[in-house]
Amino acid sequence: MRPPLPALPARLLRTGLLPGALAVALTATALPAAAAAAPADAPSRPAADAARDAEPPVAVSAYDDAFLEQYEKIKDPANGYFREFDGLLVPYHSVETLIVEAPDHGHATTSEAFSYYLWLEAAYGRITGDWQPFNDAWAAMEAFIIPGTADQPTNASYNPASPATYIAEHDTPQGYPSPLDNGVRVGQDPLADELSSTYGTDEIYGMHWLLDVDNTYGYGFCGDGSDDAPAYINTFQRGSQESVWETVPHPSCETFDHGGPNGFLDLFTRDSNYSQQWRYTNAPDADARAVQVAYLAHTWAGEQGNADAVAGPVADAARMGDYLRYAMYDKYFKRVGDCVGATSCAPGSGKNSAHYLMSWYYAWGGALQNAQYPWAWRIGGSSAHQGYQNPLAAYALSEVDALEPESATGAADWAVSMDRQLEFLQWLQSAEGGIAGGATNSWGGDYGQPPAGSAQFYGMYYDWQPVWHDPPSNQWFGFQVWGMERVAQLYQTTGDQRAKDILDNWVPWAMANTTVGTGGDFQVPADMRWSGQPDTWTGTPTGNSGLHVEVTSHGQDVGVAAGLAKTLLYYAAGSGDADARAMGEGLLDALLANRDAIGIATEEVRADYQRFDDEVYIPQGWSGQMANGDQVRPGATFSSIRSFYEDDPDWPQVEAYLNGGEAPTFTYHRFWAQVDVATAFAVHDELFG
């Protein structure tokens, strides 16, 4: 049995929050050729600074008009938010190419971006009654970021009684490669047989998290070095301290054509016999958002008397939710609760390895088709972050007939998950109102001993920075609004009292740390500092007098501001809170005042770009090459294995900074943020007209 690679995938965050990562991916078979698309070295849009200098559009008077204006900017091919492949659109992470966050290039994309693309088109369908763009967005997601049949060819060799071989995680890249350990017993996978019998296939229906849209790295289809695009890639693999600046991007389909003699595998795992293989990692918050948006589309189309117009994607979303249950399970299907010691923690059986939360990832992989002895593996995720929880998606998958999964236990599992997620957020709510990090069933990624006195949630241990530490994973305020927006929408939709109680404490804290001025000026929280820990969960919120949060910096992140506005508006619609509505509308007006020719954006200073010179750890004696010939060996740096950045039109700003100049400033048009802005306008139109 071949194992997964040891660490976890990342989420693309505007501030560059960077996880320790895990398994990788390969490219879709028979990807259609680019049609009328600009090649990677010839952007199809004006330079960003020229766009900023352009005359802004005429002011609008209604938020639905503001949505349509923003929608047209995002969908305008000249503005560069998408690349077209045979009539289907793939969103970039950002219009600009020189941007380093969780994706390390602007013309990469993520499952998150696809979920936001769906949201954009669902909002368009509600306002216009035209659902074809939503259906096209789902088709693009299926074509390009959900691995197809030929992309996961050896799943039939998967043995649910032995899901994967254990590999311990380590804090830093210097702890890798990490050896396979057949001496650690793993649990049983209770989902595989049910899913196979339900859907008549051994394939996984879920998104891989990272896609090289323009084939910038040059790995091509299945790592063959061709010009085929998009291409599945991965970056994070080496522990909680591995930031994006310390990663080695590699093809998800490992054919040994790049890297060293064993491709890139022996940077991550130590094995006696490396095999060519495919590997994918799912980011559960993106799949859950896709389900959430499908629920919205179903609701809105139904209100128009046209639910059949979106019936296909809605059924597919129910199926995606069925497979998303892998995110509810411990990484190696070990028993959840007081799980300490890799050899002593009991293997799970049945569903006692489920924590029923949205973990940081699930992953799957296997041998390539031509393997003499085919094999496949699957893992869940042991750590859950508050920002990944989506009780609204859990509600849809357990309570809405059209979204209930077809499997025998899928809807019931999601009903448990909805309750468990709300409890999780109650448990993590600080005395001030902010939501703390999360919990893990595998301390340190190796089932280690947690600090004495660690608070527990159903036997999992409190972790203020679950999954990655450079920077701390719950430092960014954006995770607060992503999570609370879903809670607020659940409250507005269902009246759930638990959701209201959470918001009653969170909303005043968020508003007290937000200011809205005039002329487009606004300040929303950016970074936070945490202290203390919650009380051990007993089923009833305690107020957590020993858990505290402090907002340490503010900024003008338009995506975060839009997410906060939506949260306040949903809360106001459910509760009648006039102050929340007023601040939500104030944020929308401030966003409108920051329009430019291609979207809504503000300038930001990127002092972190000094890390272009960061060394990437490569073990002594290891050497290899990137697809373009960049040398991978001890002493390599982030920029030395990404020499393509030297040809980027924005590189001179970074180069001057590295040579002792001022930190560069950029005005970025991130896809997720631009869609968050658009949908914020649409939410006001939906709730208040």
- Name the residues annotated as catalytic: 112, 285
In angstroms, what is the C-alpha Rg of the chain?
Answer: 23
Widest distance between CA atoms in the chain? 68
Report the candidate in 507, 560, 508, 546 with the shortest Cα–Cα distance to residue 677. 560
Both tokens of residue 352? 């006692």
Both tokens of residue 226? 């061709």
206, 75 Cβ separation under 8 angstroms: no
Both tokens of residue 234? 């991965």
Both tokens of residue 263? 């491709």
Report the candidate in 283, 200, 211, 263 with the shortest Cα–Cα distance to residue 28. 211
Identify residue 661 by its one-letter amino acid code: G
CA dist 40 and 453 (Å) reads 53
> Beta 383-385 vs 108-110: how paired, if at all?
unpaired
User: Burial code of 303-336, b = ≥16 C-beta within 10 A, e = fewer?
Assistant: eeeebebbeebbebbbbbbbbbbbbbbbbbbbbb
SS3 511: helix
DSSP element (H, E) containing 512? helix 497-512
Residues in the chain, how many? 689
CA dist 298 and 570 (Å) reads 19
Cβ neighbours of residue 139 closer than 8 Å, sequence gap 6 or more: 88
CA dist 86 and 32 (Å) reads 6
